[in-house]
Amino acid sequence: MGDKGSAALRAILEKQQEAIIQCQFPAVKERTNTLLRLKQMLIDHEAAFIEALVSDMKRPAFEAFAFEIAILLNEIEYVCRSLKQWARFERSYQFKFGYIEAVRKKRSPYGSVLIISPWNYPLQLALMPAISAIAAGNRCVIKPSEYAPATSELLQQVVSQTFPPEVLTVVTGDRHLAKQLTTMPFDLVFFTGSQETGRAVSQQAAEQHIPVILELGGKNACILDESGFSPEAIREIVWGKFLNAGQTCIAPDTLFVHESVYERTLSEVSSALLAFYGESPSDSRDYARICHDRHFQKLMHFFAQGKVWYGGAFDADDLFIAPTVLTDIQPESSIMQEEIFGPILPVIPFRDLKDLLELKAIPRDALVAYMFSKNKQHIELVKNYMRSTTVSVNQVIHHGANPRVAFGGVGRSGHGSYHGKAGFQSFSYEKTEYKAYRYFHVSDKFPPYSDQDMRIVHKFRKWLL
């Protein structure tokens, strides 16, 4: 980006920060009105957004609406209903020796927030953090992914028509623009993407002492024990894995199956895939494509690391990879170490759940761990083993659409969370007003101190301090 583009970006940031200084921070009613305008924007341009999403990734229109637009509308409605309560002052009073202590706390916005969003859900993952940021009283700059150009350009166009730039603005460009943005003095950076890029964003922000929220994905294990097997469970797992051609950060990454139900599981997985996408998934209108060529090539490297049980077809010109099931995978293979993020499902048998966990083949800090079981002891084992912020039992994906459930990572899967109240809290900080109402002064708290003063502190510490 040239000097003019850089100057324009800085002008936008300065305008947002000037608005914050001049107007303080928007009241709850103003924030709610901004969110309602965002909601109306999505409703008014629903058809255009679906067309753009289909254009970028050949997404099924059903998935484009359900997992991009509908989830945003639901989030906005929930936040608007709850915002007044979240934003209330917390008050407390306490009598001390010589004075009354009055504490009043509220959540205060950071100021101007930079949101860098990915390509796999280019509308939802651009606007979902913006909903949290606006609810907390911030101004936002969104940098959507260049790998979803139709959605990004449309988002920039309709946002500029709906909001003044000092409230919400969208800037489009490649990774060089994203890198430039992270050098600017935003008050908070929210990044969704790969661990490698997230590390670079975090380091850049740290140099300026800017707080960062990172959503980095990870290898989400799905464990199916002998008590959890059923055709319905397999359909749930298959649906969650191959939704958006596997390009979902909370998709089941690898399926670990008890050996007693291993063969039946493979059979049911094949049946479910056939029922969902037919004998020729490339002809199915309900199956998406890989977003870009670089990711397509990465996924192709995984094919040689196991035996293809089902699927395996691909078309580089169409960025098509059929729903594929791999078996007989070696533990040291890269597919067992790296996040797959595509329509390839390794199925691994295990004999004993405790032994499986002790082998540490399952990363503890994924975004989510899935467990299909009726065995309470097994469920507790997995819950105690995982560090992930969510352990989901007998379902996949749905928790990510629930605004009452915090969405975020820990360790290698990121840090910080959003959605609902968690987002309101992450995009704000606690600001305290402390007042002391004195009814007499205690001179013994000042130097020089005596032995008598020490005895008084020991005896009355709860009321003195």
The SS3 of residue 109 is strand
pLDDT at site 361: 85
Instruction: Write the CA distances from 139 to 132, 161, 180, integer angstroms.
Output: 11, 16, 19
Q: What is the DSSP string of 148-167?
A: SHHHHHHHHHHHHHHS-TTT
CB neighbour list of residue 332: distance below 8 Å, 6 or more residues apart: none
Nearest residue to 436 via CA among 105, 101, 94, 103: 101
Nearest residue to 170 via CA among 205, 214, 134, 127: 127
Buried b (16+ CB within 10 A) or exposed e, 254-270: bbbbbeebbeebbebbb
Q: If the chain, 465 residues long, is cut into consecutive pieces of 10 residues, what is the mean pLDDT of each piece?
A: 66 82 82 98 98 94 96 98 95 80 92 96 98 97 96 97 95 90 94 93 93 92 97 98 97 98 98 98 96 94 95 96 96 92 97 93 92 97 94 96 94 94 96 83 79 82 67
Domains of the chain: 3-216+417-429 (3.40.605.10), 221-402 (3.40.309.10)
pLDDT at site 4: 52
pLDDT at site 2: 47
pTM score, two decimals? 0.93
Residue type for position 325: V
Q: How far apart are CA 364 and CA 219, in angstroms?
A: 9
Q: How far apart are CA 347 and CA 329, in angstroms?
A: 8
- Residues with a known catalytic role: 215, 249
Q: How many CA atoms lie within 13 A of 389 on its CB side?
A: 23
Q: How far apart are CA 265 and CA 246, in angstroms?
A: 19
Give strand pairing partners of 139: 112
Q: How far apart are CA 255 and CA 115, in angstroms?
A: 33
